């Protein structure tokens, strides 16, 4: 089997991408944020306090004839940026891009933090990290990918995210039409539960490539690219008027500044992020001060190749044994 689903940016800065899914019988449609940086599939639901719902679509298990409460199980997750959610668990049919997991654990939110409430277009997350990270207790649950993997033509899913346009998540196949040149595969360390890999170095604009092993995670659920401070300060030294703002929590610069591109290595391959992707967004709508799409990972604790990096490439998440990750230009 194979599947293919759209990944729509929720706003003009591609802060997140949403993918339509259906849950239960009759099917209830929600739009979820595919997140390779976590492994919980959770949704706004009929169990979410109305005061915490601000335009999101909800899943009502009591309206699904195939929903079954997973008795005595709860979940609670806190993301690196401090956002959080928690709740109970139902088992139901879950379909993405024409692919159905019959008995998918659908985690219903009974509490979401303010930043999730503010994100009106995001009805929940589909965690596609390794199932070891799943927070359901007392028995942890499998991700959608792990539930459908054995039935896929190939045990893979791919991300083709775009800047300001709809991209796709494909399951079970690698679409040659979506990339140029070759895909370079590198090992993944599944132990932390993330798609962790080593980048081979970086270059700023047309500068020389600096070889250095940078361990990071490929995280579709994080907007920006977070790298070591030394790399980030070297980058913004080339940006007129850039400063590291404590007020805004990162590097900002005049929106009119011209920015260099940023290239990262994957083994001997090179992925170049166009400068436009690094001019991420005005700090507040209409401001002439812009926030950078490349920020330091020192406050994060881990290097994160988020959407700013991912949308410059075609990425293969290979769930075979051993797992690997493939990067191609497009």
Binding interface with ligand 47U (CB under 6 A): 35, 37-38, 79-81, 83, 221-222, 300, 304
Q: How far is the CB of 81 from ligand 47U (least distance, A)?
A: 3
Q: How far is the CB of 197 from ligand 47U (least distance, A)?
A: 17
Strands 210-218 and 196-204 turn out to be antiparallel
Q: Which of 14, 123, 219, 307 is catalytic?
A: 219
Convert 269-293 to b/e letters by CB count within 10 Å (16 or more is b): bbbebebebbbbbebeeeeebbbbb
Cβ atoms within 10 Å, residue 60: 14
Q: Between residues 28 and 297, which has the closer beta carbon with respect to ligand 47U?
A: 297
- Confirm if 315 and 158 have CB atoms less than 8 A apart: yes
Query: Whose CB is nearest to ligand 47U?
Result: 80
Q: Is the dihedral of CA 58, 63, 66, 68 positive or negative?
A: positive
Structural tokens at position 132: 């070891």
Q: Between residues 255 and 300, which has the closer beta carbon with respect to ligand 47U?
A: 300
- Confirm if 273 and 124 have CB atoms less than 8 A apart: no
Structural tokens at position 163: 């800047």
**Does 35 participate in catalysis according to the annotation?**
yes
**Does 219 participate in catalysis according to the annotation?**
yes
Q: How far is the CB of 176 from ligand 47U (least distance, A)?
A: 30
Q: Between residues 34 and 142, which has the closer beta carbon with respect to ligand 47U?
A: 34
Q: How far is the CB of 211 from ligand 47U (least distance, A)?
A: 26
Block residue for tokens 């209409």? 286
Q: Between residues 34 and 70, which has the closer beta carbon with respect to ligand 47U?
A: 34
SS3 category, 15: coil
Q: How far is the CB of 205 from ligand 47U (least distance, A)?
A: 25
Q: Which of 14, 35, 123, 307 is catalytic?
A: 35
Task: Give the whole-angstrom CA distance, residue 14 versus residue 255.
Answer: 17
Q: Between residues 129 and 155, which has the closer beta carbon with respect to ligand 47U?
A: 129
Annotated catalytic residues are 35, 219
């Amino acid at each position: 089997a194979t599947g293919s689903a759209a990944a729509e940016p929720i706003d003009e800065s591609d802060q997140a991408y949403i993918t339509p899914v259906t849950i239960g019988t009759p099917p209830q449609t929600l739009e979820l944020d595919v997140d390779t940086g976590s492994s919980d599939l959770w949704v706004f639901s009929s169990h979410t306090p109305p005061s915490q719902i601000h335009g999101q679509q909800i899943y009502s298990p009591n309206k699904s004839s195939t929903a079954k409460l997973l008795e005595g199980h709860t979940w609670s997750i806190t993301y690196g940026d401090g956002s959080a959610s928690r709740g109970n668990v139902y088992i139901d049919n879950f379909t993405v891009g024409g692919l159905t997991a019959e008995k998918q654990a659908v985690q219903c939110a009974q509490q979401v933090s303010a930043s999730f409430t503010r994100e009106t277009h995001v009805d929940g997350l589909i965690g596609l990290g390794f199932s070891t990270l799943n927070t359901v207790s007392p028995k942890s649950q499998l991700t959608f990918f792990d539930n459908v993997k054995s039935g896929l033509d190939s045990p893979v899913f791919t991300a083709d995210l775009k800047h300001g346009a709809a991209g796709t998540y494909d399951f079970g196949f690698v679409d040659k039409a979506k990339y140029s040149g070759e895909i370079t595969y590198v090992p993944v360390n599944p132990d932390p539960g993330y798609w962790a890999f080593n980048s081979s170095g970086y270059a700023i604009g047309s500068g020389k490539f600096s070889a250095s092993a940078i361990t990071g995670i490929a995280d579709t659920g994080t907007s920006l690219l977070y790298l070591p401070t030394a790399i980030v300060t070297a980058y913004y030294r080339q940006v007129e008027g850039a400063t590291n703002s404590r007020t805004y929590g990162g590097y900002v610069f005049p929106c009119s500044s011209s920015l260099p591109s940023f290239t990262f290595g994957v083994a001997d391959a090179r992925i170049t992020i166009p400068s436009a992707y690094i001019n991420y967004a005005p700090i507040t709508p209409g401001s002439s001060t812009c926030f950078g799409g490349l920020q330091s990972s020192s406050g994060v604790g881990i290097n994160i190749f988020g959407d700013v990096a991912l949308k410059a490439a075609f990425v293969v998440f290979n769930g075979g044994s051993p797992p690997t990750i493939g990067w191609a230009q497009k």
